[in-house]
Amino acid sequence: MKQSIQVSILGQQFNLRSDASPEQVHRVARFVEDQISQVTASGRAIDSLQAAMLALLNVSAAHLEGEPSSTSFEAESQRLNQLVEKIEAALK
């Protein structure tokens, strides 16, 4: 059964609905905030949206590196190009 859980990321409050335990949801929120903090500490991001996008890219890359490659290089390249386009559109 989904429950509403409030978390804070970068000083903003989010009400999330999840089947996961509150502890798990808070753990995920802390992980997200830690990833964004690492990006901001590196000086690579100008604002919080850029920091969030760069953190998402870092986490995605780490996740994809751990997966067995079942798709062709062209398909992965197309997916990455679409992701870059979405990020660029969000930053405008």
pLDDT, tens digit, 9 for 90 and up, residues 38-83: 888 888 777 888 889 999 998 888 888 876 555 556 677 677 777 7
Q: Does residue 15 surpass a pLDDT of 90? A: yes
Domain that holds residue 17: 3-91
Count of domains forming the chain: 1
Is the whole model's pTM more than 0.95, yes or no?
no
Helix (H) or strand (E) holding 67: none
pLDDT at 89: 74
Return the sign of the alpha-carbon dihedral for residues 34, 39, 40, 46.
negative
80 is written with which tokens?
A: 């990455």
Residue 6 near residue 25, CB atoms below 8 Å: no
Residue 16 near residue 7, CB atoms below 8 Å: yes
